[in-house]
Chain A
Amino acid sequence: MPSLVALWLGRVAYDDAAALQERLVDGRRRGVEPDRLLLLEHPAVITLGRRADPAHVLREPRELARHGIDVRASSRGGDVTYHGPGQLVGYPVVALPPDRRDAHRYLRDLESALIDTAAELGVAAHRVPGRTGVWVGNAKLAAIGVRLASGWITSHGFALNVARDLRGFDTIVPCGIRGAAVTSLEQLAGRPLDLGEVAAIAALRVAAVLGMDLVRAPELSW
């Protein structure tokens, strides 16, 4: 089986992570980088995907700045989303093999991996047809937004809410779906969770659904 090299990067600014992914995508295309899964959390930032409606950002730029929330355009698909501390962000930079070159299948695979991750922590999450992402009831647990560079190389990926505090989401209409609530693993599991622990589970699950062997970076606490 092909290998997926997972790396925990800690807290990384959105621009830095975007630039790193760009470099890794380029390296993957030239064959000098392995398939990777970057795991990290972002400082508070609102990102607008390629099809984002700016009206889905609900606060004035000045107010966002006062709360230390940046706003960034992103080259991923999808609408508006929020990232912040306590949210596990996963960016697989993987060259999809010919038998997996199906955008919908890749989205469903990421959903599966996150549903499996939640299940391992005792949380029953599910899909909602037509609404990409991972849900519990009417509340969104994880958002997904992907980019496919030429050669079917993936970047961007998923954002799984782990920490209890979800106030950052008050600033947006998540993924452009009005009336949908957000939730987190800590709220649902009813206990504090370690982001690194969740990252370790998610890494295993992502590798499993993509049919890859997980290679963990050995310096990680997990």
Chain B
Amino acid sequence: MRVDLTMPQMGESIAEGTISRWRKSVGERVERDEPIVEISTDKVDAEIPSPASGTIVEIHGREGETVPVNQVIAVIETEAGAAATATPVAEAPPRAVAVAATVAAPVVAATPETARAGEFERKRFVTPVVRRIAAEHGIEPTSVPGTGVGGRVTKDDILAFLACGARPAGASRERMSVMRKRIAERMVESRRVSAHVHSVFEVDMSHVGKLRERHKSGYLDRHGAKLTVTAFLISALCGALRSFPILNASVDGDEIVYHKDIHMGVAVALDWGLIVPVVHGADQLSLAGLSVRLQDLAGRARAKKLNPGDVQGGTFTLTNPGQFGGLYGLPIIQQPQVAILGTGGIEKRPIVIDDAIAIRSMMYMALSFDHRVIDGAVANQFLATLKAGLEQFDEKLL
């Protein structure tokens, strides 16, 4: 069945609309309610959803063209009709695509996240040459790490894989992913460049814990994000960094660059590595603002939807090696920054207060700093300031 998409009336006084962008082209499939075209009228750009699921068989109107309301701008052939009418696209799909689809199917089915499905599909797309070489050596082409577009396995990849001794006994080899290689290079480089020194403080997090308890109910509804300890940490860190600007600096040749803004990198562990999205202008944000941004960045990091700008420009980094119970870790500085804070897990411990034993929620925090530009005394004063900022966190900031 053919379903018409007409130029919608976007308002009572609106007689026409300008096609600003086609999201789909002839031959493409659309789902019902999926945006198919964008229409501009005055200062509004609107996404127009498809009225039906099916294949687009006709498009009328170029981008930039102004069309009266109710004029047909696209025709969608729905499922029932598609079989009967041979559409131009349905004819002779390229062989390679058909092959890729059959390989991809079981993999996609096994992957719950649709976001990753597309990537698998690209990776599983192999050229006939690669497929032939793989078949000759009795290996599954999809087991070869790909370096081509979207992780695609190229001819060079499969030859390199075979050259390095495919299927050795007693050990397995795999090519480092691009991300793994990048991490490896940067870690070693940082050790070479910076004179790493570490200092560890213990902080009583009971006060922050209480504030969080008091304010967390309803926080998600009010702000759309959970109130996390990380938000408190960043807020207190910004205060301490303001007092000790040398910790929010970088080294450029023979010069020290003091950064005006605080761009806080926050390490996020992923199943496939680690990424450090950056909360830009962290010192300008309220606690709620920080919470929303953290949730947004962490969510997009896991969904692989970070933009390049999201991971650039950090001036200080926070990492949390304590999430699996570690007391503390001594992290490596992210170049060209000069310090990084690693927090341990928070746990209840007996401590001595005024000669009495009390149970408090304690956390270790370890600062790695670059001794080229930061003296030990400054680093320890910084940590003392941060400790005080957390133990006496100002409730008014909530």
Contact A77 B289 (CB under 8 A): no
Contact A217 B288 (CB under 8 A): yes
Proximity bits, B46-82, A CB within 8 Å = 1, else 0: 1111000000000000000000000000000000000
Q: In this complex, what residue of B is CB-closest to A23?
A: B296
Give the interface segment out of A13-21, A56-64, A117-125.
A13-21
CA of A103 to CA of B18, assembled, Å: 14
Contact A107 B42 (CB under 8 A): yes
Q: In this complex, what residue of A is CB-closest to B41?
A: A103
Q: Name the interface size band of chain A.
A: 35 or more
Q: In this complex, what residue of A is CB-closest to B227?
A: A219
Contact A150 B224 (CB under 8 A): no
Contact B222 A149 (CB under 8 A): no
Proximity bits, B1-34, A CB within 8 Å = 1, else 0: 0000000001111100010110000000000011
> Which residues from chain B contact A15 at a C-beta distance below 8 Å?
307, 309-310
Contact B44 A77 (CB under 8 A): yes
Give the interface segment out of B151-159, B268-276, B278-286.
B278-286
Contact B46 A103 (CB under 8 A): yes
Q: In this complex, what residue of B is CB-closest to A130?
A: B42
A77 touches which one: B33, B45, B49 (CB < 8 A)?
B45
CA of A173 to CA of B245, assembled, Å: 39
> Which residues from chain B contact A20 at a C-beta distance below 8 Å?
292-293, 296
CA of A151 to CA of B284, assembled, Å: 33
Contact A77 B42 (CB under 8 A): yes
Whether A198 sits at the interface, judged by CB under 8 Å, is no
Whether B391 sits at the interface, judged by CB under 8 Å, is no
Whether A105 sits at the interface, judged by CB under 8 Å, is yes
Whether B40 sits at the interface, judged by CB under 8 Å, is yes
Task: Give the contacts of A201-222 with B (CB-CB under 8 A).
Answer: 215, 217-220
Contact B224 A36 (CB under 8 A): yes
Central interface residue in B43, B284, B309, by most chain A CB within 10 Å: B43
Task: Give the contacts of A51-98 with B (CB-CB under 8 A).
Answer: 51, 75-78
A103-B299 contact in complex given A7-B288, A34-B224, A150-B49, C-beta closer than 8 Å: no
Contact B300 A19 (CB under 8 A): yes
Determine the main DSSP class of A at the interface with B. mixed
Q: In this complex, what residue of B is CB-closest to A40?
A: B289
Q: In this complex, what residue of A is CB-closest to B282?
A: A10
Contact B224 A51 (CB under 8 A): no
Contact B299 A23 (CB under 8 A): yes
> Which residues from chain B contact A13 at a C-beta distance below 8 Å?
280-281, 309
Whether B398 sits at the interface, judged by CB under 8 Å, is yes
Proximity bits, B356-398, A CB within 8 Å = 1, else 0: 0000000000000000000000000000000000000000011
B49 touches which one: A106, A147, A151, A215 (CB < 8 A)?
A151
A19 touches which one: B33, B35, B47, B296 (CB < 8 A)?
B296
Contact B221 A77 (CB under 8 A): no
Whether B223 sits at the interface, judged by CB under 8 Å, is yes
Q: In this complex, what residue of B is CB-closest to A18?
A: B307
CA of A33 to CA of B299, assembled, Å: 15
A50-B42 contact in complex given A10-B285, A219-B286, C-beta closer than 8 Å: no
Whether A49 sits at the interface, judged by CB under 8 Å, is yes
CA of A12 to CA of B296, assembled, Å: 13
> Which residues from chain B contact A50 at a C-beta distance below 8 Å?
20-21, 38, 40, 45
Whether B144 sits at the interface, judged by CB under 8 Å, is no
Whether B287 sits at the interface, judged by CB under 8 Å, is yes
Contact A103 B14 (CB under 8 A): yes
Whether A5 sits at the interface, judged by CB under 8 Å, is yes
Whether A11 sits at the interface, judged by CB under 8 Å, is yes
Whether A136 sits at the interface, judged by CB under 8 Å, is no
B224 touches which one: A19, A24, A105, A219 (CB < 8 A)?
A24
Task: Give the 3 A-B CB pairs with smallest separation, nearest first.
Answer: A102-B11, A77-B45, A10-B284
Name 16 extra pairs, CB < 8 A, besides A10-B281, A50-B45, A102-B11.
A9-B285, A9-B289, A13-B280, A13-B309, A16-B280, A16-B293, A16-B310, A19-B296, A23-B296, A51-B20, A77-B45, A102-B12, A104-B13, A151-B49, A219-B286, A219-B288
